[in-house]
Structure 1
């Protein structure tokens, strides 16, 4: 009886700290042993207290990471806008896509618009040291041309990382590119011609829309649903109804929504592409950023016919500035390599050597664990701030990985109007209609969670909530 009262008193003590804001959303709680030492109780009592708070939904256990304060419960964005998607292929008709680069280039705003991790969350010191080392030891090699396909050692290490998540990749099919977007553009240029039809998710990353528009391709959209990812049934129906040349999909933590497509749906999507002769270009940039630490399967894992071209990059997990990406070419490697030679000849040598050297000398998994924990904390804290400071009926995604939050604003608040108002206050965001080929999602906003949490970010989110409230009134 005394033990029961002890765990209840401990749970109440923690409960008060959470409600008063002394323990914030996303904050990691002390380990069981540390909590026991701090409060003078046994580990068993600490376990009971945490289990009670977990049952109440105030905290959550994360695999191999510990206990964290949960964010406020908020409804997910609706799928309402997705029911209005076009049923016929169309060219990209969204003129605001041309102006997005102006925002990205600004250095006078808090970059809640840029879905890249802050240098503070990445192993920059180790990368700087390894870059200096390879330049000092191999200056002639580092400053010369690399093979068009990429440095052999780097390609072997990329293949090894895929092997760790159950994907058998031959290093000879890997082509190193200048970041993930070159890999995707290279794949599109190789397998499509002007006027071809491609399937994209909705919402999807605006860079994919820009790449498709530049090549004169027509788009048919498939919904990416909050919490469940790509609608595999609708995807199969589209392939039955239209002559589709390629699909460009982000199954693992879609940008901007953060949805994860389940393995069953991934298998069905790959099977549908194989049956219809559709080339499936997989954007797998966010697969390494699962907050749970369990790397989700790429689509390539379910490919038995060579129809999947997987594109990846170290830009989101190691360094955005080194611009080291790749494409797994499968049976199209020679065509992709020829296109690569005709466009950029080769990817810069020094960054390739630096990444390969880093992977050989440092514990990349340890750096990833640190990054994942920081991003998970940022997401929870941002959701909590939105719940406290933004208008009622605001809806927010709850991603299991990646860098972004997708916010649905209560009508009549327009994402573009809030974006414009935020810029005048030195805050960068991105309006939702950038993530649609036709400019849908006019009442949505994407926020980046790639910056370390700070009072400045909390103040910015409070200010954004106040701006949204004024528009609502």
Structure 2
């Protein structure tokens, strides 16, 4: 056995025995080298080995820490709606009530903290646009959106291997308006729309508002959209559109792999089902390797891709977009008859920011911070929550999905609200309020004493719920 393997074996045994617990810092590289009589290089190799095994995590300028381990979620989650039906989930109203509150620690909000976003640079861009082009900034924007921003969006897609023309991009007020416009353009009341289960509650609200019927396809924690079930459902039912989140699904954080994405598109093309792709989390790959959007493999003009700057730059600017393809003209008419156009100043400011700053560098920093936040939260949950708690281990996005067998997450949600902590109970993420023992937390808040205290308190509440 090589020296670094021997050292790694000793550290592994200490972790297994509990001498080194989840979240605790490993001895520094110098301490390891000195106490075990090995070189610095050997100590580094030992820590890297533990990192490869998933037992340790490196934190910038802080050293190596023991990773949290929790029982994995089952390979499948319940999805009982096998026939189309209306959205009948009274908890969806509770979301609106909670969003109106400003006094909560926002573990319910899948949005990065402002401290992780380039506030100063964006403020400078806003000021510069008002100073240098006040007429354009304060006037109506073109219904399709400012060309300067649409070109930059098209360029970003080109960088990830997707060919998009600025002429098929429509600027919207966030990704939710893009999804809503797509549904309004494609469907009539009573049409059937396929969604994942679990899925983001905003998608369910949009479907309900348009009086559409919903059909649910399972999203699996380990592999994303269940493509085999999707094909079966499309054979059995006439489905007009499918609203899907293949990259870092909210709430599971799962990713549908490239092979499954291509099979999914072939199934939808065969059954004449238009795909509305919500790719809002695609840029938030913690590894830095962005998964490709469905648009990359669309050969039949059957995908409308929706995106947004809300999760990566500034939620409050409310700038999103859709890539309409063959549907661009129809979508633009829907947009014009709805809101005429989106606000000018945010579009111009974002274009100014993107032209002056390295977006990829910002994304690397943001994704590293989110990954670190998520790991620290996992560690706190392993320390303070019931031992039966199970957790997804996403590789990107903003969500941590937990399962607490035998517990009603609505009870925990209510008690947490009384203590000023926002959470998202699992029932919000299905059309009929399933996942009663599940909970979604956001990893968008930087680690802090207040966050550690809140997770400890949630663990105490979960223990008695």
Aligned-pair CA distance for 1:77: 2.3
Question: Do structure 1's residue 204 and structure 2's residue 199 form an aligned pair?
Answer: yes
Q: Which runs of 5+ in 1 are unaligned?
A: none
Question: Aligned partners of 1:14 and 1:107: how far apart in 2?
Answer: 44
Question: Aligned partners of 2:275 and 2:205: how far apart in 1?
Answer: 18
2:410 aligned partner: 416
> Structure 2 vs 1, CA of residues 468 and 48 (structure 1 numbering), >3 Å: closer, same or farther?
same
Asked if the contact 1:273–1:280 (Cα under 8 Å) also holds between the matched residues in 2, the reply is: yes
1:4 aligned partner: 3
Describe how 1:250-265 pairs up with structure 2 within 5 A.
Answer: 250-265=245-260
2:215 aligned partner: 220
2:92 aligned partner: 97
Stretch moving more, 425-434 or 306-315 = 425-434
1:346 aligned partner: 341
Aligned-pair CA distance for 1:268: 0.6
1:53 aligned partner: 50
Q: Aligned residue pairs: how many? A: 464
2:153 aligned partner: 158
Question: Do structure 1's residue 234 and structure 2's residue 233 form an aligned pair?
Answer: no
**Partner SS, residue 283 of structure 2:** helix
> Structure 2 vs 1, CA of residues 10 and 442 (structure 1 numbering), >3 Å: closer, same or farther?
closer
**Partner SS, residue 331 of structure 1:** helix
Task: Show CA shifts across 1:213-245 (max 9, x none).
Answer: 000000010000012100001001111110000
Question: Aligned partners of 1:164 and 1:124: how far apart in 2?
Answer: 25
1:126 aligned partner: 121
**Partner SS, residue 224 of structure 1:** strand
Question: Aligned partners of 2:422 and 2:415: how far apart in 1?
Answer: 10
1:375 aligned partner: 370
**Partner SS, residue 90 of structure 1:** coil
Describe how 1:23-422 pairs up with structure 2 within 5 A.
Answer: 24=23, 44-54=41-51, 57-60=54-57, 69=65, 71-78=67-74, 81-82=77-78, 84-411=79-406, 413-422=407-416
Question: Aligned partners of 2:253 and 2:63: how far apart in 1?
Answer: 22
Task: Show CA shifts across 1:67-89 (max 9, x none).
Answer: 8535222122235652x512210
Aligned-pair CA distance for 1:109: 1.4
> Structure 2 vs 1, CA of residues 193 and 36 (structure 1 numbering), >3 Å: closer, same or farther?
farther
1:466 aligned partner: 460
Question: Aligned partners of 1:56 and 1:235: how far apart in 2?
Answer: 34
**Partner SS, residue 328 of structure 2:** helix
Question: Aligned partners of 1:433 and 1:461: how far apart in 2?
Answer: 20
Question: Aligned partners of 1:29 and 1:112: how far apart in 2?
Answer: 32
Asked if the contact 1:81–1:440 (Cα under 8 Å) also holds between the matched residues in 2, the reply is: no
Question: Aligned partners of 1:72 and 1:216: how far apart in 2?
Answer: 43
Question: Aligned partners of 1:424 and 1:259: how far apart in 2?
Answer: 31
Aligned-pair CA distance for 1:56: 5.6
**TM-score normalised by length of structure 1:** 0.91
Task: Show CA shifts across 1:177-206 (max 9, x none).
Answer: 010100000000000000000000000000
> Structure 2 vs 1, CA of residues 388 and 205 (structure 1 numbering), >3 Å: closer, same or farther?
same
> Structure 2 vs 1, CA of residues 36 and 79 (structure 1 numbering), >3 Å: closer, same or farther?
closer
Stretch moving more, 14-23 or 256-265 = 14-23
Aligned-pair CA distance for 1:61: 7.2
**TM-score normalised by length of structure 2:** 0.93
Asked if the contact 1:204–1:255 (Cα under 8 Å) also holds between the matched residues in 2, the reply is: yes
* Residue from 432, 435, 439 that aligns with 1:441: 435
Task: Show CA shifts across 1:280-335 (max 9, x none).
Answer: 00000000000000000101111001000000000000110011100000000000
Q: Which runs of 5+ in 2 are unaligned?
A: none
Aligned-pair CA distance for 1:401: 0.4
Asked if the contact 1:76–1:226 (Cα under 8 Å) also holds between the matched residues in 2, the reply is: no
Question: Aligned partners of 1:264 and 1:420: how far apart in 2?
Answer: 41
Question: Aligned partners of 1:231 and 1:75: how far apart in 2?
Answer: 22
